Structure 1
Amino acid sequence: MQKTALIAIILYVFICSCKHQNQNNMDNKKTLVRKQPKNITFHFEKSKEWLAKNTDNVKLDIILAVNRTDKTNISKMDSIIIPADFTGDLEFYLPFPLEVPYLKSVNKIIYFSYPTQTFATYENGILIHTGPTNMGRKKDPTPTGLFYTNWKAEKTTSTFNDEWDLYWNFNIANKLGIGWHQYQLPGYPASHSCLRLQEKDAKYLYNWADQWILKDDETILVKGTPVIVFGSYPFGEPKPWLQLVQSPKALNISADEIEQATKSYLNGILSEQKKRDL
């Protein structure tokens, strides 16, 4: 009897230890080491002149993100915004907050900010990934609100023009045919409602977000990852990020703003999350 009790105690300690270790592992995944630049200020330079004397890929990634563009389009621009200090990680040059305590209970969520033309992913309130986007043009605006990722395809054809190939496409509004994918970023909202991304970001989100789970063609058992598109773009006015030269924090999105954009959707998001966790 004593032997049986001893074995039970050992098993209990072992199980508790494993649970504790697993929790530590989960916590460690959320512990990100970030390198902050000494200062964040911006100035204008001629695009071709800057590109001619700078070949560092880390610097180029920051420049592309700050100017909401890609390698194909950066050289077509006249003047571009340049940080004075390149020593920080990318997220310090973009507007989303590093932490949003309000999202602690949300396993995964994606935000697209229309006015700043940037996106961000969060896991339990911690910023995981961020980058530039070019969203819907004035004639074909990207709808705002809550969506969920559904189906995806490494390569598909645009429903607007069958000559356009879309790579790393992830749909968020099935009946409207709206999603994110890799496509040219001219540096302003130019799409036909979709959310254009650099290839590396489109591929990242393609692998990171969850697809829906279907019972049949008409029945959704579990929705995918929540996506919130918020804000409005000042069409007809100068690009908002040009303000960074005069005010480096002009576009900063606060944790409170994220909370306000999420509050009316949170219960539904957590309900769908619970279904996926079952």
Structure 2
Amino acid sequence: MLNTIISITVRKINYFFYFLLPIISFSLLIQCKKNPDLNAVSQKDDLGQSQKDSLKNVEPEKPAIKYSSFIFPKNKKDSAMTVFNEKYSGEEQDIILALNRLDSKNKWRADTLMIPDQMDSTLMAYSPFPSTLESLKEVKKIIFFSYPIQAFGMYENGRLVKWGPTSLGKKSAQTKRGLMFANWKKELAISTVDSDWKLPYNVNIHNKLGIGWHQYDLPGFPASHSCLRLLEADAKFLYSWAEQWTLTKGGGSVVTNGTPVIVFGDYNWGGKKAWRNLADNSKANDISVEEMNELIQPNLDKILEEQKKAEAVKAERQSISADDPQN
């Protein structure tokens, strides 16, 4: 009896596999077509994530900005300033003044202001510098100062991260052009020209000539004694952003240079301010990629050489510090 039951059970199991196994196999085949193997899914997901991440780094195209002129007649300047103050909020005034190379302290100097039809507190929508420079992709940090448009532009690995207004050296004390490097920093320096002049967030770029960038008045034209003046917020940002030089242990000589700086071009002394042309042509101040590359290429080898040296020294000192915490 027991043998009979076992025999029947075995036959049923055989029937089960005989009829259902093809169905299960076919079902799995269909499922495999619908759902690739886990490695393929993972690769697809990784690719999709990679594409998403790369898109995050792509800056959107700058909006088309139009500019109009806000004029302050000499005989009605006070009343025009009242209109200006009432028409624009404090933040909007800061944007407008920056685009006209002025700070709030020097607002009274305004005679004709360029007014954008769109407000962007980062100023990036109005940037005259190219958003990306492929030639700088290996350069971790670099800053440019343009004499013609009195503006600075900061790049990280070829991507513009910030730009803003400046006031460079006046005609009789012009800022040195060419490639320099950030040297030492001091949160509050005292001018060597006049001890009453306080220079917040000073970053020296030419030690022998005493040239550096720092916060100071922006009057709407080149007015400094060779230094590179900035708005306070910009000076504070650049102070933290820039890398200093490294010195020998006794401080007697330079081991490596800091962040590269290029000052370039010439100002239209006595002529129309470059930004005044924006009302007629919103791209009048734009600097092309080709123009920037002409500045970069003759200096690129030196910049990369100094960067490589600085990285090697930094790594060496970090290694020594890790081995000897008391060093």
TM range (shorter): 0.7 to 0.9
- 1:11 paired residue number: none
- Gapped regions of structure 2 (runs ≥ 5): 1-45, 73-80, 313-327
State the Cα RMSD in Å: 2.1
Q: How many residues align?
A: 252
- Gapped regions of structure 1 (runs ≥ 5): 1-19
Structure with the greater alpha carbon radius of gyration: 2
Give 2:114's match in structure 1, choosing from 69, 81, 90. 81
Larger strand proportion of the pair: 1
How far is 1:87 from its partner? 5.5
The CA deviation string for residues 29-55 of structure 1, in whole angstroms up to 9 with x for no partner, is x82655843x31111114612222211
- 1:106 paired residue number: 139
Identity %: 46
The CA deviation string for residues 81-104 of structure 1, in whole angstroms up to 9 with x for no partner, is 101222585122131111111111
- 1:40 paired residue number: 65
> Could you tell me which amino acid in structure 1 is paired with residue 177 of structure 2?
T
- After the TM superposition, which residues 207-222 of structure 1 pair with which residues of structure 2 at under 5 Å, given as runs? 207-215=240-248, 216-222=250-256
> Could you tell me which amino acid in structure 1 is paired with residue 57 of structure 2?
T
Higher RCO, 1 or 2 (CA under 8 Å, sep at least 6)?
1
For the 8 Å contact 2:180–2:260, the answer to whether it is kept is yes
> Could you tell me which amino acid in structure 1 is paired with residue 102 of structure 2?
T
- After the TM superposition, which residues 196-207 of structure 1 pair with which residues of structure 2 at under 5 Å, given as runs? 196-207=229-240
For the 8 Å contact 1:34–1:89, the answer to whether it is kept is no
For the 8 Å contact 2:143–2:261, the answer to whether it is kept is yes
Give 1:187's match in structure 2, choosing from 217, 220, 223. 220
For the 8 Å contact 2:94–2:104, the answer to whether it is kept is no
Whole-Å separation in 2 of the counterparts to 1:204 and 1:34: 23
- After the TM superposition, which residues 43-192 of structure 1 pair with which residues of structure 2 at under 5 Å, given as runs? 43-46=68-71, 48=81, 49-57=83-91, 59-86=92-119, 89-192=122-225
> Could you tell me which amino acid in structure 2 is paired with residue 220 of structure 1?
V
SS in 1 for 2:170: coil
Whole-Å separation in 2 of the counterparts to 1:33 and 1:56: 28
How far is 1:205 from its partner? 0.4
SS in 2 for 1:75: helix
Asked whether 1:265 is paired with 2:299, we answer: yes
Distance 1:149 1:239, change over 3 A: same
Deviates more, 1:249-258 or 1:181-190: 249-258
How far is 1:276 from its partner? 1.8
How far is 1:75 from its partner? 3.4
- 1:31 paired residue number: 57
SS in 2 for 1:248: coil
Whole-Å separation in 1 of the counterparts to 2:57 and 2:188: 34
The CA deviation string for residues 228-270 of structure 1, in whole angstroms up to 9 with x for no partner, is 0011111111111111111111110011111101111110100
Distance 1:88 1:116, change over 3 A: same
> Could you tell me which amino acid in structure 2 is paired with residue 31 of structure 1?
N
For the 8 Å contact 1:94–1:118, the answer to whether it is kept is no
Tell me the TM-score normalized by structure 1. 0.85
The CA deviation string for residues 4-57 of structure 1, in whole angstroms up to 9 with x for no partner, is xxxxxxxxxxxxxxxx9xxx8xx77x82655843x3111111461222221151
Whole-Å separation in 1 of the counterparts to 2:288 and 2:205: 25
Larger helix proportion of the pair: 2
Deviates more, 1:164-173 or 1:61-70: 61-70
